[in-house]
Structure 1
Amino acid sequence: MFKPAKKFASDDEVKIFIKKKFDTWIIQSIEQTLVATRDPSGNKTSPLVAYLLLSCAIDIIAGFYGGRDTDTPPPGAIGKQYKDFVKAYMPSYDENELYTDLRCKLTHNFTLGKTLNLTNGKPDSHGLKDGDGREIKNFENVLNDFKAGVNKYFEDLLTKKELQENFKKRVSGLGFVDMF
């Protein structure tokens, strides 16, 4: 069982701490990564690393959502939690597509599946199909939708018992990086 180095007065204090760290360490790191990939003229970026971090961030919050308490969960558990989080908090996205093509293929193989075309700086193209029938995902749209989903999750965490139990299970089992 995880024993935090920091002392917290209540479960609510832990939630506030993790939400703040999630916003500053994770979300801001993703945003700064996108900015860092711009060429000096500011015209072009390569959002792949920012997409990788975003996919990892979905995985992290999905672990809190689903109560992942071990770094060796049973087969299929991580995929289920990832998809369940996307379905609940990013409902305009196909959870199977994001899991398979963004999380698995991009994160683990640095490739994309046959269903996604990733871009950035083109918000009007988000959700459209390219010439090969792949759905275009504009980075800024995906990030904004993810941030809205994370905010909604933390709102729900205040009132939904199952989410509270899963959150506590995740924190007790694995902690969070700055709690050590």
Structure 2
Amino acid sequence: MKHRVLVLGAGYAGTYVAGNLARRLSPEDTEIHVVNAEPDFAERLRLHQVAAGQEIETQKLADIFAGTGIRLHPARVTAVDPERQVVAVTGADGATEIGYDTLLYALGSHGEDHGVPGVAEHAFDVAARPSALRLRERLDGLPRGGNVLVVGDGLTGIESATEIAESRPGLSVTLVARGELG
């Protein structure tokens, strides 16, 4: 019986690990499965550009994994049952379970509102392409002279603020940092 490796998430880490394992492990001994909610690879490092209005070409995960033997499952994880060693997923074909012997959890990070009033309704993140596109839509709806507040002085915050300011000079963009920049 083949050893079943299941990778949850196909961002930078999940895609790298799955590809690396496919190159190193024998397909006669190992099955590699990848579950990802979106069919495209999300270049998180460029999502601030998507939010600002640039069109960034996407790569299909099916194309990335073509010829590797990796089995891609475009679906959302709904439950993990470590006792039975199965993951429940829901995709276009409905709900199913995928068994595993080794589970790699690479679902990435997400924004957190920490219960701050108004954040859930009025704040956006650039953690995934759909959220970056929602931010773009919101920016498109702002009038000239509208205000944009970017919270966070990490690379994503700085790049988002500068990209938005450059692509939308009619908006007033403010970056809030914990301390001094630089």
Same fold (TM over 0.5): no
More strand by share: 2
Computing the radius of gyration from Cα coordinates, the structure with the larger value is: 2
Structure 2 length as normaliser, TM-score? 0.25
| Structure having greater relative contact order (Cα 8 Å, sep ≥ 6) | 1
Structure 1 length as normaliser, TM-score? 0.25
